[in-house]
Amino acid sequence: MHGERVVITGMGAISPFGQGVHCMLDGVRNNRCALTPLPKYCLEGVACQVAGIVPPLQQKCIPRELRRCMSPMSVFACLAAWEALEQSGLGRTPERRMGVAAGSTLGSPAMLHNFFEAFLAERSVESIRSTTFFKIMGHTVAANIALACACTGRTLAPAAACASGLVAISLGYETIASGREQLMLCGGADEFHLLVAATFDRLGAASHECVPELASRPFDTERSGVVCGEGAGILLLESLTSARERGANILGEVCGAAMVTSARNIANPDTAAIVDCMRTALDDADIRPGEVAYINAHATATEAGDIAEGQAIATLFGAHTPVSSIKGHMGHTMAASGALESILCVEMLRQSVYFPTRALRNPDTRCGGLRHLTAIEHAKQGPILKNSFALGGCNCVVLFDTYKP
């Protein structure tokens, strides 16, 4: 896309590894697994045994008047956004116009559950807290970030399920590149709820493995499905002009993006659409496939998804470009995943390493004979391609590179 160059000047993460980008980075770099057995109260009615749950956080650092409208997903997003803004040097509430693009799979399912539990028992809304709706509404994450960070620009709240986080980055990139905003807080957040895990289970796509370290194994013949998780990833995207003017530390550049819809089936991954999406993103960035140095796959460890994506990657890149998925480290953090994994992509560029697919021992050859990373590898120069896909036919690809003046 021609227009303003778009750079990244701040990043924040709440992940199953804990609070902060450093915490997630340390876990992934050391090839640890952040998955844990599900609490017993979550197990009723589903076969899932393991999840990527965020450890307890110090929520009270968020003032009550903000926190009262936040379910866990917004708490995660708020803390991640503040981390990104502090890293950027702008502080938690910059005194300048800033927009937000942040999505979640749903509004808080737990709060929706609570609402109907109370309403159906009493046939009255008299006991419903005034703030309940603000936790349920579709743009709860974006609205809460806007409030916590004093955003006065546009509020965008893409709802593209598992691709929401990367779609938000893509929207932020387009918004800045077109000159509509100078600063955009972008990403996604989700909180674990049985509704999502049970849905994957009903679709036959959820892992039933009870050993956390073996529960999420993208691309492996022994994989058993997706492991649901939670978290938030937020990146501060900024026009290069703005970043230069204020002397910001530039962490990386967004050099291209694309969104492509598969109109064939609401649930099935679509190799042709994925190929189209990656090709469109490469065209947007004016990059040829051979120039891509590494691919961070969506790969959630479902059979259909891994095969469709693997074959799409093989179609465009052959066995030339190294590929890995982070889902083995912390499961599928849903709307947060595209953003958390984008943060890791930027860190891989900064640290000149590529992280492997954890617990990948026997690559499934039906995934297209890719060049899988099974151990940490020194990076070569070149852009990183990041994939995210979602139920509903949503496909999104974003390209990141080291900022070069």
Partner 1 sequence: MDNDTIVTKVNAALAEEFELEQAALVPDAKIRDDLGLDSLDIVDMVIVLEKAFDFKLQNKESLAAIRTLGDIYTFIGELRDAGTIR
Where does this chain bind partner 1 (CB under 8 A)? 64-65, 68, 126-127, 129-131
The torsion of the CA quartet 67, 36, 188, 184, rounded to 10 degrees, works out to 80
Question: How near is the Cβ of 79 to partner 1 at its closest, in Å?
Answer: 18
Residue placing its CB nearer to partner 1 in the complex, 30 or 130: 130
Q: Which residues contact 163 (CB under 8 A, 6 or more apart)?
A: 298, 338, 388, 389, 390, 394, 395, 396
Question: How near is the Cβ of 73 to partner 1 at its closest, in Å?
Answer: 20
Cα separation of 102 and 169, whole Å?
Answer: 8
Residue placing its CB nearer to partner 1 in the complex, 128 or 376: 128
Residue placing its CB nearer to partner 1 in the complex, 58 or 127: 127
Question: How near is the Cβ of 131 to partner 1 at its closest, in Å?
Answer: 6
Write phi, then psi, for 152 (nearest 5 degrees). Answer: -115, 0
Contact status, residue 184 vs residue 236, Cβ threshold 8 Å: yes
CB half-sphere exposure, 376, CA atoms < 13 A: 12
Residue placing its CB nearer to partner 1 in the complex, 60 or 404: 60
- The β-bridge relationship of strands 155-156 and 99-103 is parallel
Question: How near is the Cβ of 122 to partner 1 at its closest, in Å?
Answer: 11
Question: How near is the Cβ of 78 to partner 1 at its closest, in Å?
Answer: 17
Residue placing its CB nearer to partner 1 in the complex, 71 or 300: 71
Residue placing its CB nearer to partner 1 in the complex, 115 or 355: 115
Cα separation of 11 and 185, whole Å?
Answer: 9
Residue placing its CB nearer to partner 1 in the complex, 64 or 378: 64
Cα separation of 158 and 155, whole Å?
Answer: 10
Cα separation of 402 and 43, whole Å?
Answer: 43
Q: How many CB atoms lie within 10 A of CB 265?
A: 10
Question: How near is the Cβ of 120 to partner 1 at its closest, in Å?
Answer: 18
Question: How near is the Cβ of 130 to partner 1 at its closest, in Å?
Answer: 4
